[in-house]
Amino acid sequence: MTSADDEDADGERRIVSDAVGVVVLGSCATWSLVTAAVQGGRPEGVLLAVLAVAAGYAAGRISGVLLPVAAPCAAALAGLALAAALPRLVPVPETVTPLGHAGATAAVLTLSAGAACCAAWATPVPALRLVLRLLACGTAAAGAALGSPTATVSCAAVVLCSLAAGRMPHRGRGLAGLALAAAAATGLTWAAAGAALPGGLAASLEDPLTPRRVDLWRDALDLARHDAGLGVGPGRFGELSATAARTTLSDGKPHSAPFQMAAEQGVVGVLLLAAAFGWVLFALWHAARPTPVVLSAGAALTGVAAVASVGNALSFTTVSVGAGLLAGLATARPLAVGPASGAVPARSGRDLRSRDGRPAV
């Protein structure tokens, strides 16, 4: 296959993944308007989240083309600085435990770790690569310093996955494993809310999650069963949840993105949320970047998905923008410039082997 054919194929794959993204994000926005029109509610939160992801993704694609190393490095430093300067991303004290400020701090640090790992794999300079990996490890230390054990565990997992990605020739298997991990985290929360776990495991999970959070999830399940088709309407969970009504300083959210979508937008909302995550993995699968870069970003985004399954991290615009930004950086095709600039050529991910592991021709 010639270089021109490779570029044409990459262009077609990018067009397909971008078209899928437009359809998925557009459907998320449209469905929130439909449910709000039928059931009442406030779709502004969903619309803002969709806009934030799209804006971050576009910014990541542009900056990733021009600055494949500097852009993710700057994103990692910005996320670390944001988490350190604004340790309380929400003023409601009851949302602090157990995930560290409603999971937003954990999500931001996880994205920072992923961006640092992407920058490390993108640079050809060994010394800079070591510095960037130390920066990624520093995000885990920052999580511990900020009192967020979830951030520490999530960032450490991203770093380990990134190191393992260097020895994984098949990105499809890695992305499939990440999808299974996200599904397992979501399934575990549903099992906990539905009292389907063994007694010992349920008790061990309920203590760190707190009984109030589990009660919020059960309220969300009850609301979803009441109207599985349309839900109760976006933004209305706080009005109809008995647990939220009894809680002082409640933020009116079930502290789980899947449960919130199920309660407020029904089964279709949950499917659209899963489709949005699936689209990100699909775009990473077709990305022209090296496999370690792709899997590092995928690991970070999976970590955010896991945090969002047990917290309200996606309720913060900072997290939505950051997730879109990291996805855009990992799917951008850098300009083929000289080695003096430090940029990695666009085909560097497939110089030695194609996606299926066979030698590239």
pLDDT tens track for 284-310 = 999 989 999 999 999 999 999 999 999
Cβ contacts of 228 within 8 Å, gap of 6 or more = 266, 267
Tally of domains within the chain: 1
185 domain residue, yes or no = yes
Q: Which residues of the chain have pLDDT under 70?
A: 1-11, 86-102, 199, 247-250, 336-361
Q: What pLDDT was estimated at residue 336?
A: 56
Q: What pLDDT was estimated at residue 3?
A: 57
Q: Quickly count: other Cβ atoms within 10 Å of residue 219's Cβ.
A: 21
358 domain residue, yes or no = no
- The candidate with the shortest Cα–Cα distance to 280, out of 157, 175, 168, 159, is 175
**Residue whose entry in the numeric block shows the structure tokens 């609301």:** 223
Has this prediction a pTM greater than 0.85? yes
Percentage of the chain exceeding pLDDT 90: 58
359 domain residue, yes or no = no
Report the alpha-carbon distance of residue 320 to residue 227 in Å, rounded.
28
321 domain residue, yes or no = yes
24 domain residue, yes or no = yes
Compute CA distances 319 → 53, 72, 291, whole Å.
9, 15, 24
pLDDT tens track for 223-259 = 999 888 899 999 888 888 888 777 666 677 888 999 9
- The candidate with the shortest Cα–Cα distance to 180, out of 300, 278, 286, 308, is 278
Q: What pLDDT was estimated at residue 342?
A: 38
pLDDT tens track for 100-123 = 455 788 999 999 999 999 999 999
360 domain residue, yes or no = no
355 domain residue, yes or no = no
Count Cβ neighbours within 10 Å for each residue of 108-141 and write b for 16 or more, e otherwise: bbbbbbbbbbbbbbbbeeeebbeebbebbbbbbe
Q: What pLDDT was estimated at residue 239?
A: 86
Report the alpha-carbon distance of residue 268 to residue 230 in Å, rounded.
7
Q: Which residue range forms the structural domain that includes residue 97?
A: 3-350
What sign results for the dihedral spanned by CA atoms 146, 147, 150, 152?
A: positive
261 domain residue, yes or no = yes
